[in-house]
Structure 1
Amino acid sequence: MSLAADVLDAARARGVLISTAESCTGGLIIGALTEIPGSSDAVDRGFITYSNNAKVQMIGVSAEIIKTFGAVSEEVAAQMASGALKGSDAGIAVAVTGIAGPGGSEHKPEGRVCFGIAQPFGVTTETIEFGAIGRGNVRAATVEHALQLLLDALQK
């Protein structure tokens, strides 16, 4: 069975729907989940918030937080996840924001991705440095990691 299918089964077992807030993956996480037949009983919606304005307008990320910490930060990932949870009927939300490449900077290198998981009782975040492995590989690794975070959170 696939990781996405395992996530859907875990959401069903918990009786919750899933929502996503995606920046660098542009919808690949929600796409992986909805690729599975029957996913509509476990998936609520996905927010593709690629631009900073989309993050602010669609899911309520603070423009001040983006200005202070940058779009690629755990602070923004936390607000994205919380906003996706609040703006949906979901019981769990995952958010990703990162630099898929090419490019980056000394302070925000290519391959850095910040993740957030929001549930009604709180939000957790983490940053993973995938490295300069290429845009497609960073995006694929981000999807895989986000699905694993969802699965782990749903199984707690």
Structure 2
Amino acid sequence: MITNISLVTVYCLDQSAARDFYVGVLGFEARTDITMGEGFRWVTVAHPSQPELEVTLMTPGPPLDDAAAAFVRSQLEKGSMGGLGLAVDDCRKTHQELSARGVTFLQEPAERPYGVEAVMRDNSGNWLSLVERRPFTPEDPH
């Protein structure tokens, strides 16, 4: 029986720079950083309040074939890749704090039916959605 999600992958252009961003800017914890056969590097981070879920910071490469890896790399370079949804307790305050740390925001905090949302980029071009959730149902006015 599956009990939970324990690992998700976020593609990045530079694993060290991505790890430093997620740890130093976003407050995640460094978990694993090992090199396995043929120079394959396994790097993971996790948020301290959700230690059971690790994020693998993966450069485009095997198991992707060369064409797929090139496509993912090009999408990262264009800033067209989605990344993670991150829960925050105060979206406007988090936006201010991260902006002060130099984080690029694509969307300022805005009211949505499900809460307040802002969209930022990590240092590899992934979009990260910050959401301060509030209860809603699909029947609520939009």
Q: With structure 1 as the length reference, what TM-score do the two structures score?
A: 0.32
Q: Which structure has greater helix proportion?
A: 1
Q: With structure 2 as the length reference, what TM-score do the two structures score?
A: 0.34
Structure with the greater alpha carbon radius of gyration: 2
